[in-house]
Amino acid sequence: MKPRYFDAASSEPLHPAARETLLAALEHGYADPRRLHDPARNARLMLENAREVFASCLGVRADEVTFTPSGTHAVHLGVLGLLAGRARTSNVLARSAVEHSSVVHAGNWHAARGGEVVELPVDITGRVTVDLPDRELAAIALQAANHEVGTLQPVAEMAAPGDVPLFMDACAAAGRIDLPQGWSAAAVSAHKWGGPAGVGALLLRKGARWRNPFPGDDRVDERGTGFENVPAALAAAAALQAVSAERDELAARQHGLIEEIRNEVARTVPDVEVVGDAERRLPHLVTFSCLYVDGEALVSELNRRGFAIASGSACTASTLEPSHVLAAMGVLTHGNVRLSLTHDASAEDVRAFLAELPDVVRRLREEAGL
């Protein structure tokens, strides 16, 4: 039986629009867009078409879009590039305690080279609640929405004071919600909305004080490095255009399904904590923690019953380390699972999961002697 896939926040299955475009583009998008011959001009046109679609769907200018090999690379370019651009002013990065590991690693890389990182705490929903520290900052890093619990962050409010540039990790949010305003640089990742893996984008506002923190390259876009994957970029654009066209309807449907999950899990499973903001959240994602149950065991048993879900930190589950996001929120870190709905997930899929979950938790607790 094909498993019911509830891990779209990790990677959404390839959207039909992306699949169709990718197959067509593979035949024509092989040439280096920098060259002057006809195949290269064709590839250049395809790449620019993809850039225009990204810009239109994400609310930026086409010349503010740089294609990258991943969302992680776009994060590193954005965070470290803003810090480099303000190096004469300050070396302090302020970031929330619940940022994606790619932001955390960029901050650690910065600190290892003499910089400083200030961590901004969050409330129990995962939302930043404090004012910025009273000191000169080089940059702020704040995600548009949390990748583990879905809580939306106050990006526009945090960006309002002063002229400190804000980097926004929008990988979890792009294609799902309207992106907030006020940021100087942002990162997105195509496989989060049904595009091919291996396509990210750095969004860099015109006039932002940004300097490439890595060795440069003589590409079409001087902010990028390496040969762009033209067919994949065009397929990513096709998927983004498709999900953007249906976003409002899809978000309303998914928001209702997630609300049903939140309510039913709390009602039918004893000793469970449903986390994240109940309203100001991504429409397709929910995380809850089951006391006295190992998260990996829960994932394995649900997988055996035909449900593919995630557990632990979104990026470090394989290390069995507690989620730094949940720890920063002050909620249960043990026995946590994350469900994130694909664009074609149905009410039947959700209710099948809700019917199985109480028995799975009960059996695992019995096996643990509880």
Domain boundaries, the chain: 4-12+246-367, 16-245
Quote the DSSP letter at residue 60. S
Sole residue written with tokens 């255009």: 241
- Does residue 270 have a pLDDT over 80? yes
CA proximity to 173, closest of 233, 240, 265, 126: 240
Active site residue 290: no
Cα–Cα distance, 150 to 294 (Å, whole number)? 22
pLDDT for 161 equals 67
Cα–Cα distance, 299 to 290 (Å, whole number)? 12
Q: How many CB atoms lie within 10 A of CB 360?
A: 20
**CATH class in words for 16-245:** alpha beta
Pairing of strands 139-141, 116-120: unpaired
Residue type (1 letter), 228: E
- Does residue 355 have a pLDDT over 70? yes
8: CB partners within 8 A, 6+ apart:
192, 284, 340, 341, 342, 343, 345
pLDDT for 111 equals 98
CA proximity to 312, closest of 303, 322, 298, 297: 322
Cα–Cα distance, 144 to 116 (Å, whole number)? 23
- Residue 208: half-sphere exposure toward Cβ, Cα within 13 Å: 28
Cα–Cα distance, 226 to 215 (Å, whole number)? 11
Mean pLDDT (the chain, rounded): 93
- Residue 228 contacts residue 220 (beta carbons within 8 Å): yes
Task: Find the length of the chain.
Answer: 370
| pLDDT band (50, 70, 90) for residue 208 | very high
Q: What is the CATH number of domain 4-12+246-367?
A: 3.90.1150.10
What pLDDT, in 10s, does the model give residues 132-183? 888 899 999 999 999 999 999 999 999 876 789 999 999 999 999 999 999 9
Cα–Cα distance, 117 to 91 (Å, whole number)? 8
Cα–Cα distance, 71 to 75 (Å, whole number)? 6
What pLDDT, in 10s, does the model give residues 291-346? 999 888 999 999 999 999 998 644 444 445 778 999 999 998 888 999 999 999 99
Beta bridge partners of 57: none
Which tokens belong to 266?
């709390």
Mean per-residue pLDDT for 340-354? 96
Q: Measuring CA to CA, how many Å separate 335 from each of 59, 60, 62, 124, 294?
A: 39, 40, 44, 18, 4
Q: Which of 57, 171, 290, 315 is catalytic?
A: 315
Sole residue written with tokens 């004893």: 270
Which tokens belong to 16?
């039909």
pLDDT for 49 equals 97
- Residue 339 contacts residue 262 (beta carbons within 8 Å): no
How large a percentage of the chain has pLDDT more than 90? 82
Sole residue written with tokens 């002013």: 89
Q: SS3 of 319, please? A: helix
What pLDDT, in 10s, does the model give residues 72-91? 999 999 999 999 999 999 99
Mean per-residue pLDDT for 233-248? 97
Beta bridge partners of 194: none
Q: Measuring CA to CA, how many Å separate 338 from each of 5, 214, 300, 309, 323?
A: 12, 35, 13, 6, 11
pLDDT for 220 equals 66
pTM of the model: 0.94
